[in-house]
Amino acid sequence: MPKGFPKEFFWGTATAAYQVEGADAEDGKGPSIWTSFSRQPGRIADGHTGDIACDHYHRFEEDLALMKELGVNAYRFSISWPRVLPEGRGPVNTPGMDFYQRWVDRLLENQITPFVTLYHGDLPLALQERIGGWAGEDIDRYFGDYAALMFRTLGDRVTYWITLNEPMRFSFIAYGKGEYTPGEQNLKTAFLVAHHLLRAHAQATARLRELLPNGKVGLINAASWIEAASESGEDIQTAFIANQLLHDWFFLPVLTGKYPEEAAQFVRGLGLLPVFDPQEMSRIAKAPDFWGINYYTRRRVKMDMSRPIFFAYAPPERETTESGLEIYPQGLTAFLKIAQKEYGSIPIFVTANGMADKDVLSNGVVADERRIAYLKSHIEAVQRAIAEGVDVRGYFVWSLLDGFEWTQGYDKRYGLIYVDYEKSLTRIKKDSYYYYKNYLAL
């Protein structure tokens, strides 16, 4: 394993159920909010859906062999809630549950440590329709029960559990920008949903503590390096609020039971802060065992109240990825240092990092040099943070495979492995796969 990292470091790749599994209506699986959202005209680039995705559900042995050859010792994947509980609650779908049981067993037999994300976007449609999904008052209870079911079923073999992947997306992006399911634009609901997500995290944490005393629970937050678009006092103040709103909002309540003060004032001033019993905040304050941080880019912000979530981003100053994100590895070091200082000094995993590139398959080769440079510089950024004292325990490339990239459909490829959608989903190792493989073999 590479030098300059702790001995027990986890090196992995990450995926999410709806993005790779496919088999969306098979073996008793219930539809998710993405099953229906992806069918709405105009929502997803080129009208793509995750119905088939990479067909990982049927090809997991092949994907496992690819991972084994890659040499990773960890894999982060998510459970599809409607695959195990088609209605979101009630009877368990045994074939769906068996799939995850088998998958965890196979990973462990291959010395790959599973990192299980309980929620990565695919809420059972039944819960959306019956109780309003994440806006529903009781959603945290359902989530807690689902989490407990998974703890009971897989907890004898899985140690690392992640409650939610990027709650910011399911609240501000889904209900603020309206870009993700259910695609509404209602900021009041966005803040309510954010609150319910924090409650849900707390519920699942409490259930884990009760059921799996040796289990470790984490929360993954989206992280960007946020800076002011200019040196004006106004922009500097905006960057301060943006950091509180896009980061602290999902870190601090879990630690301290409080929303960040200035951002909360700002949100309250707009009449958007949900009303809740103050006691409830002490129930939300359940520190995790680790933080997951998904890092991709830097954002230079300016206030723009006409935007769905208040901020406009200045045009990138440096090279960008195929998704238009500025490549800024030093932001990862800087964020990790701040996270360690401000967010309770608990272990951190970089749970997603990678880039969309213009991958061209030519004579069986994908020469994705830009991705190699991206990964290299970001791994070095992690190493630098560790050298400066940050307790980073693992690094996961997003992603193992090209997959369904939400509203961007299959147009944006993030994988170390190319998926040939034209030719029966054949997997082709990109040059970045070999880069990571050789790096891990050092």
Least distance to ligand FCB from the beta carbon of 389, Å?
26
CA distance 16 to 438: 25
Least distance to ligand FCB from the beta carbon of 16, Å?
5
Contacting residue, 54, 66, 339, 352, with ligand FCB by CB under 6 A: 352
Closer residue to ligand FCB in complex, CB, 20/148: 20
Farthest-apart Cα atoms in the chain, separation:
62
Q: Annotate each residue in 19-38 with x if it binds ligand FCB (CB under 6 A) or - if it does not, as one string.
A: x-------------------
Is 133 in a helix, a strand, or coil? Answer: helix
Nearest to 140 by CA among 7, 309, 276, 40: 276
Closer residue to ligand FCB in complex, CB, 158/222: 222
Least distance to ligand FCB from the beta carbon of 407, Å?
10
As a dihedral over the C-alpha atoms of residue 300, residue 14, residue 332, residue 180, rounded to 10 degrees, the angle is 20
* Chain residue at closest Cβ approach to ligand FCB: 294
CA distance 249 to 243: 9
Closer residue to ligand FCB in complex, CB, 221/238: 221
Closer residue to ligand FCB in complex, CB, 82/167: 167
Residue 288 vs residues 210, 241, 396: alpha-carbon distances, Å: 14, 24, 19
How many residues touch ligand FCB under the rule CB under 6 A: the total is 11
Note whether 414 and 403 are within 8 A (CB).
yes
Contacting residue, 35, 93, 294, 333, with ligand FCB by CB under 6 A: 294
Contacting residue, 93, 165, 224, 238, with ligand FCB by CB under 6 A: 165
Closer residue to ligand FCB in complex, CB, 173/301: 173
CA distance 93 to 87: 10
3-state helix, strand, coil in the chain (%, to 5): 45, 20, 35
Amino acid at position 166, single letter: E
Closer residue to ligand FCB in complex, CB, 272/325: 325
Judged by CB under 6 A, the stretch of 263-271, 371-379, 380-388, 398-406 that binds ligand FCB is: 398-406
DSSP tag of 202: H
Residues between 93 and 132 with contacts to ligand FCB, criterion CB under 6 A: none
The reply to whether 193 sits near ligand FCB by the rule CB under 6 A is no
- CA end-to-end distance (rounded Å), the chain: 6
The reply to whether 414 sits near ligand FCB by the rule CB under 6 A is yes
Least distance to ligand FCB from the beta carbon of 111, Å?
25
Contacting residue, 9, 10, 16, 82, with ligand FCB by CB under 6 A: 16
Q: Which residues pair with 216 in a beta bridge?
A: 160
CA distance 311 to 160: 34
Location of structure tokens 């943070």: 385
Q: Annotate each residue in 69-88 with x if it binds ligand FCB (CB under 6 A) or - if it does not, as one string.
A: --------------------
Apex CA 29: angle with CA 38 and CA 189, to 5°?
Answer: 50
Note whether 163 and 118 are within 8 A (CB).
yes
Contacting residue, 119, 146, 398, 418, with ligand FCB by CB under 6 A: 398
Closer residue to ligand FCB in complex, CB, 395/398: 398
Is 127 in a helix, a strand, or coil? Answer: helix
Least distance to ligand FCB from the beta carbon of 237, Å?
27
Residues between 212 and 251 with contacts to ligand FCB, criterion CB under 6 A: 222
Closer residue to ligand FCB in complex, CB, 16/97: 16
Nearest to 430 by CA among 378, 377, 374: 374
Cis peptide before 114 (omega within 30 of 0): no
Question: By the criterion CB under 6 A, which residues form the site for ligand FCB?
Answer: 16, 19, 165-166, 222, 294, 352, 398, 405-406, 414
